[in-house]
Structure 1
Amino acid sequence: MASFVTEVLASSGKLEKDDLSCKISKLSQKVEETKDEVCDMINKRYSEFLPSLQRAEELMAQVAEVSKDIEMLKSCIANEVSQDLQVAVTEYTELKQQLEKNSIVITVLRSLQEYDLAMEEYHRALQEKKYTVAAEQLEKVRAGLYLCVDSLKAWKGCELQLLRALSSEHTVQRENLIYHLGDEWKKLVVWKLPTSKELSAAESFLKTELRLCSGMQAGDGSDPPSLLASVLQALAIQGQLNHKIKLFGQVLLKYMLKPLISYSSLHVEVGEQPGQGAVLTLQLEETSAEHTSPSQVYTRLLAVLRVLHAHMFGTLNLLFTLKKVSIVLGDMIWEEMSDCIIRECLLYSIPSNSSQLSKYSMVIKETEEFEKTLKELKYLTMDSTDLLQYARNVNSHFASKKCQDVIVAARNLMTSEIHNTVKISPESKLSLPRLPSLDSKDNAKQEADRKRPPSADTPALENEKQLGQRTLCLPVCRISESVQQLMELTLATLSETVGSSSQCAIQLFYTVRNIFQLFYDVVPTYHKENLLKFPHLAAIHHNNCMFIAHHLLTLGHQFRPHLPQPLSDGAATFVDLVPSFRRLGTECFLAQMNAQKAEMLERLSTARNFANLDDDENYSAASKAVRQVIHQLKRLGKVWQDVLPVNIYCKAMGSLLNTAISEIITKILMLEDISTEDGDHLHTLCQTIIDEGPLVFLPLPDENKNRKYQEEVPIYVKKWMSFKELAIVLQANLQEIVDRWADGKGPLALEFTSNEVKNLIRALFQNTERRAVALTKIK
């Protein structure tokens, strides 16, 4: 209720006025109270301020007097004490610089003394051919010179002319030492090499000879040091060893190690003389092997490397190198040498048959021993090398090599001549390799079920007829011998997949697929001209494609249970290639058929449309054209005889003969006027084809067996009956023609239309009432 009253008052404006007046009165009261407090505060502060101000002024005077005394003292210190201190610091700095200078001079003098002693020792050692001592002394000289130069650079960059002269002298002596070392190297490591033009056979490397002279010199001990070892030690100290060993390794590889790997008839002969060195020469040995076996290669290489280790690297103690010389040489030649071993030796040692894979473990063991020996001789430091990995990965390399060999062999068969043929029959079978049994129990059960006679409970089949033994068999025909060999090659390759590793089996399987893809691409291209030019080859190629397609239907199914996954799950199939091969063979043969038809039509085009045959020239041209067509058909019949299957042969010859008689029928029907003499000539030509046409059907060499197919000419030649009717009409009178028409039910009506028959009547007979009556009967 109160809130409601308040709202009502507020809405009327009365409540707002009462609140303003109340607030104003309260504010006025607070202002008065604040004014009183301010006045009281001001009175208190300023009444007590004056005594405090006077005391502060007295203190300020005292502070000013003390400050004046401090300034006077400071001025005294600045003018007297500071001046003496600066003089002392300057004297100290000069003394310090003089001490440093004296220290540097002493260091340089000591270095110069050591330089002189080292140079004297160097010259003495060089004369005595103690090259290791000489190299060490030069190294000591170099270190001393660097110390002097560093000391002088620290002292304000000062440099003495004497040091430049000494450094130049050191450079000269270092080059002199390197020259002497190189000269000694040429005397101690002597190569005799053939010229580059001669490097074409194993015999040219017989001139290669490496002579290692130890150059033993007398010493204090019982075992005199080797001059060769001293030279190598000095080269290492002077930083020239890697370059020298690199050049040596290149020559060693080119003229000794690689020939020993590449040529099976070469072997190394080592001649050693105690205290003098060794001689390595290459010799020939009689061998029938085309490539060297891995064990022989390893033996030859180790013979060379052991001699080098014994006479060059074995006794060295290089204090100034991080690695031994043998390791340096090994690092430089290992990659190229192992690559050559793989390419020229291990590649050819990979077995070509899966049955030989078990024997390859010996090669792996020999490779492991070879690398172990190299590690002992300090030529090799790696734990895993490409050489050993290649040897151990034999399954992959076997598959790759097998696939490569198979592809090469297949391509050679595809590019060989295809006219060398073999005859196949329904009884012909490819020799399928014996495959291991998957489950003898299941096989025995299936065999027992097959042999068990049907019981009364067994439901009878709706059709009890069995398929013939020759169902799905190829008909008798001829195929290329190379294609038969190609299929045998694919079967042998697929047999390699049985028992092989999964990777190997898959790789071999798809190689076989690649063979068929290669055949599809290569053969039509490589033999293109011959397939178009020679009907015999076109027929053989047709049979080849059908032969391959026939075997592709079951090729995958035969091996699928013995293949790894996913091939065993259904991927091992060649059925998808069947339509392509059938189409390839069909297209090639159809192209040949079209070429023959075109040639036949071209010959018939010289018959002058079979018109005006009462002219001797026209009749001669028409007769010649017909004879040429029959001759062409007979030639094709002989060419395709015993090559094409009988049904394909008959269809092909029937199609060609049908093309010829169709063209003749068309030409005759187009004639508008046929005289009696023309009709006789046309009938003679048609009768010639009727008599000799069936004789072109010669699918078999046996003449008696061909009669059956010659009697079935109407089956293969669609226009044969039409052609025979036309021949009859050409010699018939009007009544005979009407009788053969028989109100559209006779044999003539079955082959020709009414218009065609009327046109023939008009061309053969003059316009008479009898012709008009006859035309009215042709309906």
Structure 2
Amino acid sequence: MSILAEILPAVTKIDVDEVNKKVPKLKQDVESLKNDIIINVENIYVKYNHRHTTNNILLEKAKQFQNTLTDLKDKADFLANKDLTKADKDLKSNVNELYKVEFKMRVLLNLLNIMEQINNFKKNVAASQYVKCIAILKEFNAFIEAMPEDEKFDAINQLVLSVTEEELMLKNTLKNIITDNIYVKQVPEKHVTILKIKKPNEEMKTAIMAYYSSQNQVLLLSKIAKYLWEDLFVPIVNQEIEITEKDTISFASLNLNVKSADKKSDYTVVFNNLEKVLGFLTKHFNYDVTDNLTVLGYIGNDIRDNLSELIIKNCLRDTIPSSTEELQNYKVVIEATKKLEKSLLDAQIFTTDTTSILEYANNVDVLFINKMCKGYLESAIEIMKHDLHDIMDVGVPYNPEYPLGNVELEFSQCAISKNVQELLKFCEEILQKALGASPECSGRLFTTVTNILSKYLTFVPEFHKTYLTTLPQQIAVFLNNCQYISYTLVKWNMEYCSQLRHVLDTCDFSKEIGQFSSVEHELFQIYIDGQVKQIEEIMEGAQLEGRTIQKLDSKTEKSIRQCLRQQELLRTVWHKVLPYEVYNKNIGIIVNALCRCLIRDIIKFEDIPAKVAEDLVEVIKLILTRAPKLFINPNEVALYVPLWYKLNELSFVLNSSLMQINDRWADGKGPLALQFEGDELKGLIKALFQNTDRRAAVLAKIVTFNVRN
């Protein structure tokens, strides 16, 4: 344009003639080029009888026409700016035609460029230059995407389809190359897995790089990673395996023979087998995927975290020492683990971000104590499973002279399960180890003891649930067990916790003591409540309902005898098991329930015939005679049965005259006044005696007092 600007003053008719003359010629040449290109396309892609060499000639010709077009367009633009096209109709027509030729020329150049790319693509496929093929495809796709839609006529679209087919064929070729180079074969009947890999070759190298370059991933390698994980790495760690290698001229194979699917190999065998697999893969299959990524690194992305976890949980965990002697010799395992981790890192299966198996092994002191403590808990649970009724006596016998005990920390004589004594001895051994251990280990050991104690409170009630809910001896023994453990924990607070507090932030069994107290009380109270409920249910059938009674039913005596028999059975199984005070207190609760039911049913009657009163006295006499024998010391029955005196006074009233009752009331100062409220006694008198002046006089003397029952 700068030259045109210089000759602007000299624009003549010659310039106009040149445009008018050359544009028709260029139009004709471009049309001829178009026909030649179409014929060439048909020869190559339809008839398949022509080579791509013609395309180079056509491309050179197109470039020449493009130069001519550019020159003419510059001149036409210059003339148009000077409004010369308005003065010359031919010039105006040729300038318009020139723009049409420009569009057609652009389309033809696109077509020729596409054909040139296809030609280059096929040459590189033939030369196995697969990475270059992928680069050409990417360039081609970018070229097509950038092309305006109005320039994509049918021939170009047909060529795009052709390229798409070529791309699919290339990917299939790459896939076949990879699958031909490595495969995993299983022979189930022989329990054998064979990994076969073609020895390193350039075709495989370029195929993998090309495959990755096309998608930024190699799905086939992900599948191979899955096969390696499931068929090699997992069996090597979890089963007893033998590995052998075989070589041929073209292939190397790794044979994995499962000797026992139910047994694991020793860690040394596992590590050795893993080293064999890593060495085999590194030697025969560690191609570059990119400049910064290898095949094994790619596979490692899929399996490294799982492999690290597998080695730790299913192999290294089994090597954790079970004794101090084994702990001292554990450095051998650490060295072997260090060597294996280096191999995994060198092979790029692991990276520095992968969970370190060496770090796990180096943490052996903590692992050792954790394993030991886990074993302690498991052993303790086995002890807890022993029968509760296998009992032994512990504690100091009851001394009437010192009913509250002679010394402060004195445990009352009772029967406990032998397994509790065994369990406490076991826990004490752990505490003794804690005294001589490091602060970290001491804390772990102390926590293990508290865990064992907490486990007892949840495991034993559930494991022995059937017996605890049906056999009275079992629940009594469980109560004693809990109390004896609490008693022992109080001593341990003084004996062991006092020595451990200088190394442990928290060292106290007060929480556990409270837990045992709560659980023992809750479970035993449930049982006592059940016994009381049974008494009440039995007495509901004693035929003492209603406000009046004409005759005492035989079921009344039968019900009371049944209640007493139930309590006598409890005495048989409890009196030598429970501590003196605990036994008396709880048998007293049950006897008191019987007294309460009978007193309640009798004093509600509004009319009691003399014969019924006599019969009731006899029934009450059953309780007054047999109930004291339920207690270890019969003379102490009144200490543990709050309604005992009231029952006695009720028997007196039923069997006495108005005068005797009046004397025993003694203006509210006698024994009757201590047990009955005035209204209760008045009700009884009205039920027992006819309405006479004498009865009225006695009733008038009786007033209500607060009675302590």
State TM-score, norm by structure 1: 0.63
Q: Does 1:208 find its partner at 2:145?
A: no
Matches within 5 A, 1:359-758: 359-377=329-347, 379-382=349-352, 385-398=355-368, 419-426=388-395, 471-480=408-417, 487=424, 490-491=427-428, 494=431, 497-498=434-435, 500=437, 502-510=439-447, 512-513=449-450, 516=453, 535-560=472-497, 563=500, 567=504, 571-609=506-544, 618-670=552-604, 674-697=608-631, 706=632, 709-727=633-651, 730-731=654-655
Within the candidate set 204, 229, 249, 1:253 is matched to 229
Q: Write out per-residue CA displacement over residues 629-664 of structure 1, whole angstroms, 9 at most, x where no aligned residue.
A: 211211222242433222111111123223323443
Query: Which stretch shows the higher mean deviation, 593-602 or 749-758?
Result: 749-758
Corresponding position of 2:204? 231
CA contact (8 A) 1:399 1:504 kept: yes
Give the secondary-structure state (helix, strand or coil) at the position aligned to 1:712. Answer: helix
Offset of residue 546 of structure 1: 2.1
235, 243, 249: which one aligns with 1:275: 249
Distance 1:774 1:250, change over 3 A: closer
* Number of aligned positions between the proteins: 610
Structure 1 residues 88 and 367 mapped into 2: Cα distance closer, same or farther (>3 Å)?
farther
What secondary structure does 1:689 align onto?
A: helix
Give the C-alpha shift of residue 99 in structure 1: 9.2
Answer whether contact 2:282 2:296 (CA < 8 A) is retained. Answer: yes
Correspondence for 1:37: none
Change (3 A) 1:546 1:165: same
Is the contact made by 2:178 and 2:208 (CA closer than 8 Å) also made in structure 1? no
| Secondary structure in 1 matching 2:483 | helix
Q: Give per-residue Cα distances to partners, 1:406-444, cap 9 Å, x unaligned.
A: 667777877x6875443340289xxxxxxxxxxxxxxxx
TM-fit CA distance, 1:83: 0.9
CA distance change for structure 1 residues 611 and 529 in 2, over 3 Å: closer, same or farther?
A: same
Q: Secondary structure at the match of 1:653?
A: helix
Q: 1:323 and 1:651, CA in 2 relative to 1: closer, same or farther beyond 3 A? A: closer
Q: Deviations for 1:650-684, whole angstroms, at most 9, x for unmatched residues?
A: 11112322332344345445556555533432332
Q: TM-score, normalised by structure 2?
A: 0.68
Compute the displacement of 1:540 (Å).
3.5
Q: Tell me by how many angstroms 1:710 deviates.
A: 2.6
Aligned to 1:297: 270
Q: Distance in 2 between matches of 1:165 and 1:501?
A: 80
Q: What residue identity is the alignment partner of 1:651? A: K
Task: State whether structure 2 residue 182 is matched by structure 1 residue 189.
Answer: yes
Aligned to 2:184, the other structure's residue is in SS state: strand
Partner of 1:26: none
Aligned AA for 1:595? G
Structure 2 counterpart of 1:284, one-letter code: V
Question: Aligned with 1:208: secondary structure?
Answer: strand
Letter in 1 for 2:297: I
Write the letter of the residue equivalent to 1:585: E
Mapped contact 2:193–2:257 kept (Cα < 8 A): no
Distance change in 2, residues 1:310/1:607 (3 Å): closer
Distance in 2 (CA, whole Å) between partners of 1:558 and 1:143 is: 80
Distance 1:534 1:281, change over 3 A: same
CA distance in 2, matches of 1:306, 1:384: 20
Which residue in 1 is equivalent to 2:298?
328
Displacement after TM superposition at 1:499 (Å) = 5.0
The question of whether the paired residues in 2 share the 8 Å contact of 1:741 and 1:748 is answered with yes
Provide closer, same or farther for how the CA distance between residues 533 and 111 of structure 1 changes in structure 2, counting only shifts above 3 A. closer
Counterpart amino acid of residue 191 in structure 1: V
Equivalent residue for 2:9, pick from 78, 83, 88: 83
Give the 3-state SS of the residue equivalent to 2:196 in structure 1.
strand
Task: Work out the CA distance in 2 between the residues paired with 1:320 and 1:767.
Answer: 118
Shift of 1:370: 0.5
**Closer/same/farther in 2, CA of residues 657 and 310 from structure 1, 3 Å limit:** same
Deviation at 1:403, TM superposition (A): 6.1
**Paired position in structure 2 for 1:285:** 259
- In 1: Cα distance, 2:419 partner to 2:210 partner: 69
**Counterpart Cα distance in 1 of 2:15 and 2:444:** 91
State percent identity of aligned pairs.
26
Unpaired segments ≥5 residues, structure 1? 1-78, 126-130, 195-202, 215-225, 429-464, 698-705
Q: Which amino acid aligns with 1:329?
A: I
Q: How does 1:15-414 map to 2 (within 5 A)?
A: 82-84=8-10, 98=67, 123=126, 131=128, 134-135=129-130, 138=133, 175-176=168-169, 178-193=171-186, 206-214=191-199, 227=201, 230-237=203-210, 239=212, 242-263=218-239, 265=240, 267-285=241-259, 291-313=264-286, 321-351=291-321, 356-377=326-347, 379-382=349-352, 385-398=355-368
- Deviations 1:237-275 (CA, angstroms, capped at 9, x unpaired): 454784433221211111111111122x2x132132353
CA shift for structure 1 position 311: 2.9
Moved more, 687-696 or 743-752: 743-752
Letter in 1 for 2:638: P
What is the CA distance between 1:338 and its match in structure 2?
A: 1.5
The answer to whether the 8 Å contact 2:548/2:606 transfers is no
